[in-house]
Amino acid sequence: MDSAIGTYICQTIDCSKPATLQCPTCIKMALAPAFFCDQECFKRYWPIHKTYHKKQEEQDDQKNKFKFTGPLRPGKISARLFVPDHIKKPEWYLSGQPTEEMKSKLQQVVDCKTPEDIQKMRECAAIGRGALDAGHAAVKAGVTTDEIDKIVHKYIIDHDAYPSPLNYNGFKKSLCTSVNEVICHGIPDDRPLENGDIVNLDVSVYFKGFHIDLNETYFVGEVSESSKFLVEKAYTCLQKAIEMCKPGTMYRDVGNIIEKYITENGLAVNRTYCGHGVGQLFHCAPTIPHYGKNKAPGFMKPGHTFTIEPMINQGTHQDILWTFDNWTAVTADGQRSAQFEHSILITEGGCEVLTARLPTSPPLDFKI
């Protein structure tokens, strides 16, 4: 792999060294590449790794039998990227399990960030914004989402931060890339973007003990008028939700304003995936549904930090999961979906959009 982008991490579970040695069986079988730091690690991990070959064959068989709802098909997924030793890492870096996160009291209690916490989150947000802008600048026909993942990964580690999705519950990439009918959690792969696609880049960063989360949807070349309409409305509904964020606002009311605007425009709000608290934990309380008449508890207070990230569909609000990767959520009818996300801080006088666009951010493809 090009050293300008970074290096892969050794596949051996308890090893975190950079790796360049490839498994010859993976090459022979034309599987996604697997890398090891040296022959010793390769031999030690072989009894486990060889089961990967069988799993990949089974997964390919599942793909062939899977009833896709739209025209998009997955490509090959490359190996996990290396993160330098000096960078502070979350608990799931090697284990893949956010065990402490799930046991935390912050899953039930919304904490109020201190001024010191807020400053760290602003620094984290600046890295997240820069990484998303770097990814955005690379979006064009012919570029793969795997290439964009590498660009975002390099930006984050160059700023001494960690890409939060990497190995979170086993997610293999540093970025989520959701193309066309993918609602969320698309895995970067070797499929080149095509003229007329829309693609969402979802960036999350861990820095100085805090996480931040943001995403945007972009046009690839010339897109249809219906796709333009969808993306513009997805952007606008997030802005309308942010306008109501201030002390005393009920969290359940966020969904009311989003769904009212979206249904008036003949679109649908996905009901499966929600906004969430963010800070010391990647995902925590509060839970913020984006649909109306929900029963989310609590109200906003100064110091609360959370995401709002409505996923807007052209057709049905319903989704299905690509069961062969257990990550990619797509629209049940195969029509397109778009999303924008910000991390929000509630202040005494209203709110601060921690992940706001900058004057230097590449412009969006529509007027804002």
* Residues of the binding site for Zn(2+): 202, 213, 276, 309, 341
**CA nearest 352: which of 115, 159, 141?**
115
Query: How far is Cα 317 from Cα 319, in angstroms, rounded to an integer?
Result: 7
**CA nearest 129: which of 356, 288, 286?**
356
Query: How far is Cα 271 from Cα 122, in angstroms, rounded to an integer?
Result: 29
Place of tokens 């979006």: 139
CB distance 352 to 306 below 8 Å: no
User: Residues forming the annotated binding site for a protein?
Assistant: 185, 283
User: Residues forming the annotated binding site?
Assistant: 185, 202, 213, 276, 283, 309, 341
Length of the chain in terms of residues written:
368
Helix pair angle (115-137, 145-158), 10° resolution: 140
Query: How far is Cα 139 from Cα 248, in angstroms, rounded to an integer?
Result: 39
Place of tokens 């999705």: 165
CA angle 307, 128, 132 (to 5 degrees): 100
**CA nearest 252: which of 219, 286, 280, 224?**
286
Query: How far is Cα 258 from Cα 160, in angstroms, rounded to an integer?
Result: 36
Helices (H), the chain: 24-28, 39-65, 92-95, 99-103, 115-137, 145-158, 225-243, 252-264
Burial (0-12, 13-18, 19+ Cβ within 10 Å), 364: middle
**CA nearest 279: which of 212, 185, 191?**
212
Place of tokens 């089974």: 58
Query: How far is Cα 344 from Cα 357, in angstroms, rounded to an integer?
Result: 13
CB distance 35 to 11 below 8 Å: yes
Q: DSSP assignment, residue 245?
A: -
Phi, psi of 237 (to 5 degrees): -65, -35
